[in-house]
Amino acid sequence: MANHGNVTGFSLESTEVLRPSNRDEVRQYVLEARQLGRPLYPVSTGLNWGYGSSSPVKSGCALLDLSAMNSILNAKRISLTNPVAVIEPGVTQAQLHHHLKENCPELMFNVTGSAAETSIIGNALDRGVGYLGPRREDVFGLEFVTGTGQLLQTGFRRMGEASPLAHCHPYGLGPMLDGLLFQGNFGVVTSACFKLVPRPARQLSVSLALRHEANLGRFINALAQLKREHVMSAVTHIANKARTHASLMFGICTYLESQCRLTEMTLAAEASRVLSLVSPHQWTSLGGLAGSPQLVDAALAEVKGRMRGLARVTSVDDAKLALGYKVLHRLRCIPWARANAAAISAIRPLHGLATGIPTDAAINNLLWRFGQPAMNPTQLDESRCGLLFISPALPMDGEFVADVAKGMSNVGRKFGHELYMTLNIETENSLVAVVNLLFERTDAFAVENAKRCATSLHTYIKSRGLEVYRARADMMSDVVDPASEYWQAVRDLKSALDPDNIIAPGRYNLVD
């Protein structure tokens, strides 16, 4: 038996762990599972922290660990004129980044804020959001094994890898099956085409600090208009103070401890002083501008004009960060200079995300917070950190979103939780929120209290006519309604591709 304890505090045991190394072995495992009546629970790397990691939804599953399938299948053919990587599910953000850096540095890709060793395909299939946009839009031409052992390719990839259309035309001909594999349990994805993008001539990170919390709705609407007009076309992240401070604290403390030789007795107080100086606002947005120097300058001027009186706008690029750090670090004996040097040290990895460089900063922050900074980020599930995500989809209505955010915060306070909240402007008409609860996982009361809080937050979300856009393994029964004609139709489709319910039973689908 394999136990999959994880940061959510929810886990089920798997009967065994199967580790295929290629698609033929995946097919064989599926065929054997069908004969034995033993369901499989596929994971790419199992690092789906806060949503269930590698824990199955239902007991009695064998874990199908795809992490050994980590080939970039067209590695030698990636170029500016062929900006697509054909990757297996075990390919990580770090792996693809290093490959591009060494072989085609003119290209980058849409990275997420999670750890460098997380799976690209796994995150995309659960509709994760990167810094350039929804990961769902980056993936096409999927190859997958159905519950009957049949191997299918979507789009024009079904014409064969040698076809000039296989890795470039995302739609193919006829109905698109791709959508069934995103938050679906219709098969096991063994590879997919992943879009790459040219590295722009100039890239800026733009921080917008809201001056007055009461204007949050107006702030969101202004940012939404910039998105719709393609002035800020990438995802804009709007974080509350708790999230912003949590994102910066580890980097600030690391700088103060290593470069300023602060002792443990004075470190916390100094770090808090730095945060109050460099990040005093209740809501701060982080977005990006990219393109030719002229285009970026014009877009930045437009952003500043729209935000006049509403938010403080600060822009940085690699050169500006390097120069600022160099000057301020030399003057670190002066409190103001020391604070800003520490802030730059913490901001650098976050700016890197906007320029396509994966980082472990978010996970290192969690490990540091729970007193285990020496742990490898991939070991987060083995730490004391407790983490539950509640991630509602939201309409692009600033006042409504601000009211929902306030309501969620009020629910959190009833359970003694301060919510760590980010509102992501994902599309031109909608946002998604990523809200996390942190708790001490070694404390049984804290675990149960966090679970009750998460349940109450979901109840509140639904009372506002909303739903999560991404669900944890432990809440599938709460989001899949057996009486819904939609979910009944999804189950009927499942029966065509996986009649014995072998693949991930209960995951975004009815159990029976």
Condensed to tens digits (0 to 9), the pLDDT of residues 194-211 reads 999 999 999 999 999 999
Measured CA to CA, the distance from residue 179 to residue 169 in angstroms comes to 16
DSSP notation for 455-477: HHHHHHHHHTT--BSS--GGGHH
Cβ(129)–Cβ(427) under 8 Å?
no
Q: Give the pLDDT band of residue 350 (cuts 50, 70, 90).
A: confident
Cβ(181)–Cβ(193) under 8 Å?
no
pLDDT of the residue at 354: 85
pLDDT of the residue at 256: 94
Percent of the chain scoring above 90 in pLDDT: 94
Query: What are the tokens at 102?
Result: 């060494």
In 3-state terms, what secondary structure has residue 198? strand
Q: Give the pLDDT band of residue 93 (cuts 50, 70, 90).
A: very high
pLDDT at 1 over 70: no
pLDDT at 5 over 90: no
Looking at every residue in the chain, the average pLDDT score rounds to 95
pLDDT of the residue at 264: 80
Helices (H) and strands (E) in the chain, counts: 14, 17
pLDDT of the residue at 511: 82
Percent of the chain scoring above 70 in pLDDT: 99
Query: What are the tokens at 501?
Result: 């319910």
Q: Torsion angle of alpha carbons 180, 184, 187, 190, nearest 10°?
A: 90
pLDDT of the residue at 122: 97
Q: Average the pLDDT over 263-288 and give the result.
A: 91
Q: Average the pLDDT over 459-471 and give the result.
A: 98
Question: For the whole model, what pTM was predicted?
Answer: 0.94
Cβ(111)–Cβ(353) under 8 Å?
yes
Condensed to tens digits (0 to 9), the pLDDT of residues 481-508 reads 999 999 999 999 999 999 999 999 999 9
Measured CA to CA, the distance from residue 249 to residue 270 in angstroms comes to 11
Query: In DSSP terms, which residues pair with 392 in a beta bridge?
Result: 468
In 3-state terms, what secondary structure has residue 447? helix
Q: Give the pLDDT band of residue 422 (cuts 50, 70, 90).
A: very high
Q: Average the pLDDT over 82-105 and give the result.
A: 98
Condensed to tens digits (0 to 9), the pLDDT of residues 229-272 reads 999 989 999 999 999 999 999 999 999 999 998 888 888 899 99
Condensed to tens digits (0 to 9), the pLDDT of residues 14-47 reads 889 999 999 999 999 999 999 999 999 999 999 9
Q: Average the pLDDT over 270-275 and give the result.
A: 92
Condensed to tens digits (0 to 9), the pLDDT of residues 437-460 reads 999 999 999 999 999 999 999 999
Backbone Cα Rg of the chain:
23
Domains of the chain: 75-198 (3.30.465.10), 202-354 (3.30.70.3450), 381-479 (3.40.462.10)
In 3-state terms, what secondary structure has residue 330? helix
Half-sphere exposure of 355 (CA within 13 A, CB side): 19
Cβ(354)–Cβ(233) under 8 Å?
no
pLDDT at 3 over 60: no
Find the range with the poorest average confidence among 136-145, 258-267, 317-326, 373-382. Answer: 258-267
Neighbour count for residue 481 (Cβ, 10 Å):
12
φ, ψ dihedrals at 58, nearest 5°:
-120, 150
Q: What angle do CA 358, 361, 366 make, to 5 degrees?
A: 135
483: exposed, middle or buried (Cβ count in 10 Å: 0-12, 13-18, 19+)? exposed
pLDDT of the residue at 11: 82
Cβ(15)–Cβ(57) under 8 Å?
no
pLDDT of the residue at 13: 80
